[in-house]
Structure 1
């Protein structure tokens, strides 16, 4: 609901805006903002929505900048253009809020029972860093909760879909961004961009469009659990979709093994589709090699290979020599990956031979050291 940002104003200062009022109002403010920003848009509203809490504008590329590196038009210019009397202003790639007084001459229905409370429209202006971000936000936030519903479908196949595109979670490794082009992402999921661009006149049409994804399976569709964020109660379109899906199928036992295998098939297909399979496989291979390196190249192993019999100072010197010769842990890792454990052992023994230490003999001291420089 509008006005949440302006909690210092009286309750009731931001009435809901009926759709017949909202549409011409949106068009008027859009024209005003287009004099300030190159790209100005409002995400397409959810179908069958009777009223609105505020007006949300997505903008980028100032026509007049506050400074050379600024992504904002100077706030005072935006405030003046909108005719706002109260503002909550944020610089940079953020959202600023503007309270614009409602004229009772243009909205006479508000003049009820002699009410004295001044009323406002809340106009939110979100400034994007660039046109690519503008495109993503305009797509993901169109048609109400549709973007969140698409994200839920992605979660069911082990992927993450949000305003920053499609991502591949791969714990304990860093999450990988697969693609940020929603046209390409939609093609991968089997969502018709042409149908979406034609628009929806009802929630039912939205729901039918989104389940056309080739990865949607109502019989094992999860709406909660690991990896799925709980959605706020006011997201009624999202909640209605969840209820609608549950009504489509008869409850039964889900084969979790098959469910897991299907997820992994889709995840691999996503990597192949967006050219990231080799990158992920390399990441996993290096991760496993690093873990193995810790098991192979450590004091205990080097002590055993060299026969230094627990003279840990000598062990450290040999290990440091190996690191220096092979440019640190990364170089040793490459030896392990290409030659295996024996390759690392060979480098350790080479360092031992070139060090001040000799392998232990029967006449060695208790530390097993033949030559040692202190």
Structure 2
């Protein structure tokens, strides 16, 4: 979730944190933030990760106390209180449902208590004025559901992104905001924001994920347990898979692992026609599973109806039918009267669907003949 946000400070001032240092920092700052927010969590770290760029907290619901009164509806604890509580020297503050960044100077010798004194001194030697910082990011959520989703999706490193890749391969979109159904040109539809429900649909054990993973291999094997992880269809690059930053090491390791498994099983290429047919089937299954099939059908039907009306009953078409030679006032009057007489846009659509263009033209001409007095 992180990366150095402090452009005015040298990159060398923010060393990567050895795991013992990171764990000690998390243990020290978690109770600090728990005094300011009711819900505080650090997403579970990627398995086998040896060092860390920053420490990410996900928080929700500022605590009300005699020390600070908050305006109802605000989601942030007062920034100055957070800065002071963390002991930050520098900060980049964001109001509302966003992430604020804090730079906390490392006390000289602090790493010695966890056996990393030599690393600390080495980092200080290359840092500006020999001062090094922890970067701590605090992501504030708008509600408890969002807090749970963000913690889930960003736990275990890139695992959420890897799950998203599996979803992409069956024509769905999975991210921190849940499972979505994209069907341009219509608005994207959210199928579910309940990750336990989503995991069940994909065939992932939600309980097993919650126990954590000791190795990346364990995490990759868990992903492959999905009923949609099929080496005949899996695509790790190309259209729809998106570009991933090079620092996403766990994601790239998964891609290499999946490609190696495909090669070992004799799969050398993916039949895109089969992939697309499979996507259609799974997308339809998802609509049924999450109870959105009728809603999508209605949206598509209404969209197609509007398009049919736009193409078959517009000013240019009616002008040509009645021969008004660009008398747009007359055209508008005729169109308004046709709508009034035949039940509005819905009535026009029924005529187009049952009788076609000729049936609608006949009604337009009838109204036009009655309106010969229009100048």
Shorter-chain TM range is 0.7 to 0.9
d(CA) in 2 for partners of 1:17, 1:194 = 30
Which structure has more relative contact order (CA 8 Å, sep 6+)? It is 2
Pairing 1:46-61 to 2, within 5 Å after superposition:
46-61=46-61
Residues 337/126 of structure 1: CA separation in 2 closer, same or farther (3 Å cut): farther
- Could you tell me the TM-score, scaled by structure 2's length? 0.87
1:28 aligns with 2:41: no
Task: Determine if contact 1:3/1:13 at 8 Å carries over to the other structure.
Answer: no
Go from structure 1 to structure 2 and tell me whether the alpha carbon gap of 1:11 and 1:296 turns closer, same or farther (over 3 Å shift).
closer
Residue equivalent to 2:7: 7
1:365 alignment partner in structure 2: none
In structure 2, what is the Cα distance between the partners aligned to 1:150 and 1:2? Answer: 20
Q: State the partner residue of 2:236.
A: 223
Go from structure 1 to structure 2 and tell me whether the alpha carbon gap of 1:186 and 1:318 turns closer, same or farther (over 3 Å shift): same
* Within-5 A mapping of 1:141-152: 141-152=154-165
Per-residue deviation, residues 150-209 of structure 1 (Å, max 9, x unmatched)? 111111111111111111111222211111111111110001001111111000000000
Q: Tell me the SS of whatever aligns to 2:232.
A: helix
1:162 pairs with one of 165, 170, 175? 175
The alignment of Structure 1 onto Structure 2 pairs a total of residues equal to 357
Q: Map of 1:1-374 to 2, 5 A cutoff? A: 4-64=4-64, 66-108=70-112, 109=117, 110-112=120-122, 115=125, 116-249=129-262, 250-299=266-315, 302=318, 308-310=322-324, 312-313=326-327, 314-325=330-341, 329=345, 332-333=348-349, 336=352, 344-345=360-361, 348=364, 351-352=367-368, 355-357=370-372, 372-374=373-375
More helix by share: 2
Q: How many angstroms does 1:114 deviate by?
A: 7.8
How many Å separate the matches in 2 of 1:153 and 1:92?
32
Q: Distance in 1 between matches of 2:341 and 2:177?
A: 43
How many Å apart are 1:356 and its aligned residue? 2.7
Q: Distance in 2 between matches of 1:40 and 1:113?
A: 30
**1:267-325: per-residue Cα shift (whole Å, max 9, x none)?**
100011111111111222222222222332235654676xx445553444211222355
Distance 1:73 1:215 in 2: 42
Deviates more, 1:113-122 or 1:58-67: 113-122
